[in-house]
């Protein structure tokens, strides 16, 4: 456990935990940002000159050269630029490893070992190190060496085949569920390993992948496959386990309803004044409604077209039936509720001045998270981090060579 920078994270759950973030793009940076939000001292190790490739992604900018995508995924981190093919810079990495609790990398399987930073090498230096590798397809298996992106993982996990409208062209989930899911699962593994280390005294290796994240989130779809023997097909906004539970059309647009159990179904019928549908043999039970979902929506279509979205949502909510309008992101982020939940915040930045970002999606009452570091400029903290290592006796005064321990 590292004690540097504890004052600024004092009181947060992961204060004193040091994380080395040797990742790029989305899954790894997202994982490490979540750890940083909880108080970990996250040191982002980036290639010199270019840094994390996401710094240069997206087709628009704010004021500076770093992309909004990079800014969104890298708060609460410090940056140091190291060329891990260079022996002197690799020695700086080794010095950092001796101070670290966690290391996260997302190179293709085998690359980290070739660079001299594989788990076996680093765990000898620091047996307490929790080492997480995030890849497209995992460290083993016939697909391990394939390049992996969210789209590829969605396609090869089956998720893409079950998304979109019946009979339409393939549609990926608009939110990168494989990427972000891998980051979340890696975070879950890291925190579990840190707790386990308190008992065993040793860290361990964590193998997370985009493919397995997409599969791990496919609990409904795989259940349908194994229960029916048929691969799930696209069903638009509908749900595989309940009906009516989907987007439906009112007089002036679409809204969503969630009559997900028998009580809600009966209440829904009262609100829309179609109680006779409960006597229809196609719709008596939820299982039948799921089987005959399209016929059910056809029956409801002329009824729902008589009132506006606002009128239906208000009437259904008043009766206790889950319903809601379909907002775009501008509308959602401008809502009073999102404001009350503090899900939009402004972050001060040395180049941008200030930029808008999503807030913390989990609230901690006893130890509320806060932004301690803006997303770093490339190598912004390189001198500071080397100085810390020299103060610990892990680097010579030149800052170029790690002391062998």
For the stretch 312-343, pLDDT in tens is 999 999 999 999 999 999 999 999 999 999 99
Farthest CA pair distance, the chain: 84
Burial 101-129, CB ≥16 within 10 A → b, else e: bbbbbbbbbeebeebebbbeebbeebebb
pTM value surpassing 0.75: yes
Q: Is the pLDDT of residue 291 over 90?
A: yes
146-163 tens-digit pLDDT:
999 999 999 999 999 999
Please state, in angstroms and rounded to a whole number, the distance separating the CA atoms of residues 5 and 76. Answer: 12
Q: Are strands 18-22 and 102-105 parallel, antiparallel or unpaired?
A: parallel
Q: Residues with catalytic annotation?
A: 179
Q: How confident is the model at residue 405 (pLDDT cuts 50, 70, 90)?
A: very low
Give the E-state strand segments of 31-110 in sequence order. 41-46, 77-81, 102-105
pLDDT digits (tens, 9 = 90+) for 96-129: 999 999 999 999 999 999 999 999 999 999 999 9
- The edge-to-edge listing of strands for the beta sheet with 245-250 is 245-250, 253-258, 323-325
């Amino acid at each position: 456990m590292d004690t540097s920078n504890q004052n600024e994270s004092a009181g947060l759950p992961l204060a004193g935990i040091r994380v080395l973030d040797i990742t790029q793009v989305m899954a790894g940076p997202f994982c490490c940002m979540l750890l940083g939000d909880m108080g970990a001292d996250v040191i982002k190790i980036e290639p010199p000159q270019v840094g994390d490739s996401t710094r240069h992604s997206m087709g628009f900018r704010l004021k500076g050269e770093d992309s909004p995508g990079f800014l969104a995924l890298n708060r609460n981190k410090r940056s140091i630029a190291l060329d891990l093919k260079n022996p002197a810079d690799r020695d700086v990495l080794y010095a950092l490893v001796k101070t670290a609790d966690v290391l996260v990398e997302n190179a293709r399987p085998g690359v980290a070992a070739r660079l001299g930073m594989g788990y076996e090498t680093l765990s000898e230096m620091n047996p307490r190190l929790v080492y997480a590798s995030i890849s497209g397809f995992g460290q083993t298996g016939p697909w391990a060496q394939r390049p992996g992106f969210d789209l590829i993982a969605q396609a090869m996990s089956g998720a893409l085949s079950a998304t979109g409208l019946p009979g339409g062209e393939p549609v990926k989930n608009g939110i990168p569920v494989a990427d972000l899911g891998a980051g979340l699962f890696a975070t879950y593994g890291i925190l579990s390993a840190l707790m386990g280390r308190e008992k065993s005294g040793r860290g361990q290796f964590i193998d997370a992948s985009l493919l397995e994240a997409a599969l791990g989130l496919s609990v409904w779809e795989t259940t349908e496959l194994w229960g029916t023997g048929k691969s799930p097909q696209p069903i638009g906004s509908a749900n595989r386990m309940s009906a009516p539970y989907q987007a439906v059309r009112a007089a002036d647009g679409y809204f969503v309803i969630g009559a997900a159990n028998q009580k809600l179904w009966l209440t829904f019928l009262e609100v829309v004044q179609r109680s006779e549908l409960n006597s229809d043999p196609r719709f008596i039970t939820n299982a039948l409604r799921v089987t005959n979902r399209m016929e059910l929506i056809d029956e409801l279509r002329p009824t729902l077209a008589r009132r506006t979205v606002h009128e239906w949502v208000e009437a259904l909510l008043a009766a206790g039936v889950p319903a809601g309008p379909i907002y775009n992101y501008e509308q959602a982020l401008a809502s009073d509720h999102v404001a009350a939940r503090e899900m939009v915040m402004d972050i001060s930045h040395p180049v941008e001045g200030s930029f808008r970002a999503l807030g913390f999606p989990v609230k901690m009452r006893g130890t509320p998270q806060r932004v301690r570091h803006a997303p770093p400029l490339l190598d912004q903290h390189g001198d500071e981090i080397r100085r810390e290592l020299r103060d610990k006796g892990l680097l010579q005064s030149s800052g170029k060579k790690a002391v062998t321990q």
